[in-house]
Structure 1
């Protein structure tokens, strides 16, 4: 027994000693390899292969063994003998993992990289497999990724994958861990080459910047995007963290490191510059659908109802046959009269739509934030709510008891079982509310995009609400956005109360007090049937319930969709005036970049910031500054826009007059001092403007708000009178020199900046829902 216990250890020791001996004679080995390559490869092929095998093994012992072979890699990769080419590719793969320095040295050799990429077109699948694995190993560093991309490795990989991969049914999910979303991987049954190719493709796609994504040939990008969607869809029935294959349960599964979120990110990225996934509808179509068939219906709405009072459009069956803008969406629901089947078909397979910052100008920043979660199942409260309001308590209760808004630490993903629970919840009187339909249905995205263009806003949101008979979903509340309630199926009774104050609530503002006391407020009741549309301005408290015994032949339940006009801060009149001041002040800042430390220039720059604060002070009490600016509503017919722009011009100059007459230096200074004492940011209201202008102002040294506050305190202490004089001069010049037509142009440019990122986001999210 003792002899058997010692023998294996001794054997291992002798083997290690042999390897070290081989490693110590690398110079001789290199000379032998070089001599063999100089002779006829056919006769020296066995020797070359043995040398390469020993070099490959030596990499496991010391990184210094890599140096001799690097110079020969281009020659070895160009060999007509597949075994030599494969061995060279395997050496590159192993060497790339030895150290970052060696990885960079290999990637820096353009001949080596080019020859390696050329192996991907070999007719020998084993050579392609080795080359693909070498590219994947080389891609562990950002530098190598960029080198491979610069030599079109991604294009070559995409082309090869499209030629080789044929069996969608081989795609599966596998898990090596606890079957959480993060542990789910894409696998291929008995197809290791497809697994390796897709693994490498996703790594390089997800390493691309926007320019590199845009430079992928359109036909190739769309072909691979379609294939990735099919692969994802083929595994989607397991996507909700159910039924994944364990790595040791099915031995023929070729595992990969392609996480579900990694594949989702690649699909999202390729969709950014894909052909427009949704096309805006003509103005006339949306106008008839939401505002009626009269030629002046939209103009009448804008003059009498927009941000002023509720508006009801009652539709007849004849209207619906001709002007139903939701017909395509309704058909996609596969409605067969069964609410459970409607719920199942609507919720099954949906992925979460994570919010994107309103001022975000680079879609890749968003992807970096959510890359490990992209493509995950819908999340409670973020994507969906299941709530009801009891008539006695007037408080909302959630069906999912695990959800506690104040203390929820982990996201609550909705699995297949939870979707079935939603059906049970509906039977118990709960409303199912689904957010973000404009990211999930191309037909809704088209309506939302058209509506956003009509109102000159960056985006329009769309939510769906399914309410059972004799029930109320959300409690009485008001919104920070204007809403068009579109009744799809059934009917619902709405009560809209008069607005409690003159000021419109701001988007993203605090709505904790939105459940206001409406016992003494005026109210209007509206009964919506299929096809009807109700407009509710922001700030108007409202609540809705389904049929309470009204014998009108309606089915009792309700399915309605809301289209939300989200007036973001830069496109309220206050934001437009802030942006106008910023653009005007740029003409003052450019000449003084070199003299920014001079007293006169500091006085001017600080005065501009104080005028921003002054505008914010006025807007807190003046309703006009809170209203939406519509100067960027360029999709409107010419005659409609011309009438609208005249009203916008009048509004703008009314606001300029208020700034000229009401901005007081002493009030502004006091406001700033109080904010500083309370450790608050006096410029918080224009945070979006700071983010927007940060890139353009990065070189003038005057972008940090802490410096501005420091200069302000110093100037007030030493030169208060001069600062007041500079402030009055800045105010006077701005009010006199600002040009309305320039404001219209700059507002349109700003809108396009905002919409560009939103459209890229929508394209990506629509792709993640396509074919699921």
Structure 2
């Protein structure tokens, strides 16, 4: 696997020097030169610059500059812009080397150099030359300078990134060989990329990746499209080669012999650059026409979707059975099926599905800035799959009904470190399958463009930010997951084989909230009503959230079925802001934000505090009602798009009726004493009484329009307790007034318009995440 390995290279010393100096920068102490030495060198250089034919002397002065002069700011640094404009290559190289060395001496000197715009622009201008030695010195100096955040932003300010990308594309001649190397530590975090090829190109690639990974989203958007797309293709070509060698255990073999440049590019650095460029790439993951998804999931009749929304959505299971007359039976999943390259054998199918996959770390549900996610995972992005997070291999014992994990060591609660699913574990999945275990893979929408398109279309149809897709491969005569219910609705799409499903009646009329802790939830189905569904290839079964279900394969069905099953689940995860209870909270927030009356101007008068606290009390009241009224937990679909006009009008009318039901409930069932009691119990139990609107606090901070009071829970509780003790009657009157005004003044159309914008914010971040992850799997 590692035909080309690594040895030290004389030109790799610059990157090694950068890494070592960066680690020791705070500890290094050197004896400073005397002020006389500094002044003498400065005077000689200044005099030489004013005389013609003095270039040899300038060069001699530069060569004799003692390293210790660079420890602290000196007048010599002021001459750097002039020296950088020299027409003599050896002088330009020497000055660039001095800048690089000085940049690594201390943070103070680094910042002083980066603060001088003329020096930064002069250094960047060296990238316009065609002389390789000057290019290499300039590139190394840029790398040395970019070891601090401040300097990175200065370089980006003067378009160093675009210049680096342009020059790299001019000098790049292709990748001869790429593999991995490590510095003795075999963990994923220590893996770096070794590249056989032109050392100058490797230096430019490294510098470009460093600056790219320091960009804000707006800076990424300013990269010219042609540069971005061409550079992304090269990064993905490099990534494909790295992924082929992405077995952590094999990295140590790369240190034995070979002739590659040891780059300082970590695997995660490369993955992050691909991710960043992909979030603005054009149509990495698109959508499918509404008609295609409607036909595949709801049937070919004219009222398929409308009938489903009226009679089944979040109410009852729904089976769409294919018939031989359906000529377009699997159009929606055909690209995915074709990408598997299955030759009919199960081992090849398992390898085809799992080979080359990387971990898809979960993104926070209320995240509205993709760079926050990247900052959290930047040292792990691109790592192999992690057991339980990305993949599970399970079966349910028929006698006990308990789930068993094939990789029991991976599933141990004692493991604190992520357990990477390497190529060896992929091979073991074949044996696990033979022993009756189901392979369950999460996040197909992050791994296949064709699946991402299906998920995107369904999300638009149902007015949600995103839809998740999981895969389940089950051997004959086996059950994967034990009987359970989900906190999200699923469409079970039978791709290969067949499966028998049992769906039990829902134990509660209240739909489970997303992220409710379902572990340990006892499911007693002995007295529950049940329905049996047998799915063949092309069939679709809809199971609403909260309905217990289980499924197993049976090789003795007598219809030429192979007995195995491969199915995909399309999961509609209705997050808190997009349940009707969340819409009620959002409506109250929008109403209070738009008020122009003095009582909501954020100052500290008693009446203003009373009104502000009353708004928060009403939020708690909405949460209490949501715990008992099923309609508050249903999904809001006002942001549904891509629907035919008639279908949308029908859907919107139902949404309007639900909204006014909520407002009427808030008017009649929001009770001041009940709210106070609920908050007191929460405070006594050291619980957060405003937990249900955590997402709304995040939204307020992201929007940046609310004062600290509205987002600081300690302020809310402190003022509430104070007002309850000193002005209880006034607080109750203010609460009733706020409730009455809100219920009378809130406008459905305005809420819908604002809520759609909120959905779009969520969708934008999810789309960026999906595009970034799909790009890392694009070779599939």
Alignment of 1:595-606 (within 5 A): 596-606=603-613
Separation of aligned partners in 2, 1:606 and 1:699: 13
Q: Specify the alignment match of 1:6 in structure 2.
A: none
Q: Specify the alignment match of 1:453 in structure 2.
A: 460
Indicate how the Cα distance of structure 1 residues 247 and 296 shifts in structure 2: closer, same or farther if over 3 A, else same.
closer
Deviation at 1:20, TM superposition (A): 9.7
- 2:141 is aligned with 1:130: no
Contact 1:515–1:541 under 8 Å retained in 2: no
Alignment of 1:465-614 (within 5 A): 465-588=472-595, 591-592=598-599, 596-614=603-621
Indicate how the Cα distance of structure 1 residues 700 and 237 shifts in structure 2: closer, same or farther if over 3 A, else same.
closer
List per-residue Cα deviations over 1:165-212 (Å, max 9, x = no partner): 212123322111222211111122253212211111111011111111
Contact 1:464–1:559 under 8 Å retained in 2: yes
Q: Specify the alignment match of 1:51 in structure 2.
A: 61
List per-residue Cα deviations over 1:587-635 (Å, max 9, x = no partner): 3477346562111111111111111111111111111111111111122
SS of residue paired to 1:646: helix
Contact 2:298–2:304 under 8 Å retained in 1: yes
Q: Specify the alignment match of 1:403 in structure 2.
A: 410
Choose which of 713, 716, 725 in structure 2 pairs with 1:708. 716
Deviation at 1:251, TM superposition (A): 5.5
Contact 1:589–1:605 under 8 Å retained in 2: no
Q: Specify the alignment match of 1:8 in structure 2.
A: none
Q: Specify the alignment match of 2:199 in structure 1.
A: 192
Q: Specify the alignment match of 1:326 in structure 2.
A: 333
Contact 1:66–1:95 under 8 Å retained in 2: no
- 2:246 is aligned with 1:239: yes
Point out the more displaced range, 619-628 or 161-170.
161-170
List per-residue Cα deviations over 1:334-371 (Å, max 9, x = no partner): 12111111111111110100000010010000000000
List per-residue Cα deviations over 1:306-331 (Å, max 9, x = no partner): 01110000112442536621011111
Separation of aligned partners in 1, 2:252 and 2:125: 35
List per-residue Cα deviations over 1:259-285 (Å, max 9, x = no partner): 000111111111111112111111111
Point out the more displaced range, 402-411 or 623-632.
402-411
- 2:689 is aligned with 1:677: no
List per-residue Cα deviations over 1:381-400 (Å, max 9, x = no partner): 00000000011010000000
Deviation at 1:517, TM superposition (A): 0.8
- 2:22 is aligned with 1:33: no
Contact 1:442–1:766 under 8 Å retained in 2: yes
Deviation at 1:250, TM superposition (A): 3.1
Contact 2:285–2:453 under 8 Å retained in 1: yes
Q: Specify the alignment match of 1:384 in structure 2.
A: 391
Contact 2:555–2:562 under 8 Å retained in 1: no
SS of residue paired to 2:248: coil
Indicate how the Cα distance of structure 1 residues 298 and 514 shifts in structure 2: closer, same or farther if over 3 A, else same.
farther
Alignment of 1:309-348 (within 5 A): 309-321=316-328, 324-348=331-355
Separation of aligned partners in 1, 2:154 and 2:675: 54
Contact 2:600–2:612 under 8 Å retained in 1: no
Deviation at 1:78, TM superposition (A): 1.3
List per-residue Cα deviations over 1:237-273 (Å, max 9, x = no partner): 1112143366753352211211000111111111111
Separation of aligned partners in 2, 1:616 and 1:65: 60
List per-residue Cα deviations over 1:5-59 (Å, max 9, x = no partner): xxxxxxxxxxxxxx99999644444444344444444xx444333321221xx12
SS of residue paired to 1:564: strand
Q: Specify the alignment match of 1:726 in structure 2.
A: 734
Separation of aligned partners in 1, 2:299 and 2:697: 41
Deviation at 1:408, TM superposition (A): 2.0
Separation of aligned partners in 2, 1:429 and 1:151: 60
Separation of aligned partners in 2, 1:771 and 1:235: 12
Indicate how the Cα distance of structure 1 residues 271 and 505 shifts in structure 2: closer, same or farther if over 3 A, else same.
same
Indicate how the Cα distance of structure 1 residues 251 and 560 shifts in structure 2: closer, same or farther if over 3 A, else same.
closer
Q: Specify the alignment match of 2:775 in structure 1.
A: 767
Contact 2:285–2:452 under 8 Å retained in 1: yes
Q: CA RMSD for the aligned pairs?
A: 1.9
Choose which of 618, 621, 625 in structure 2 pairs with 1:618. 625
Deviation at 1:724, TM superposition (A): 1.0
Deviation at 1:548, TM superposition (A): 4.8
Alignment of 1:263-302 (within 5 A): 263-302=270-309
SS of residue paired to 1:47: helix
Indicate how the Cα distance of structure 1 residues 25 and 717 shifts in structure 2: closer, same or farther if over 3 A, else same.
closer
Deviation at 1:143, TM superposition (A): 1.5
Choose which of 90, 108, 122 in structure 2 pairs with 1:115. 122
Separation of aligned partners in 2, 1:734 and 1:65: 63
Aligned length, in residue pairs: 749
- Structure 1's unaligned 5+ residue stretches are 1-18
- 2:385 is aligned with 1:373: no
Contact 2:709–2:715 under 8 Å retained in 1: no
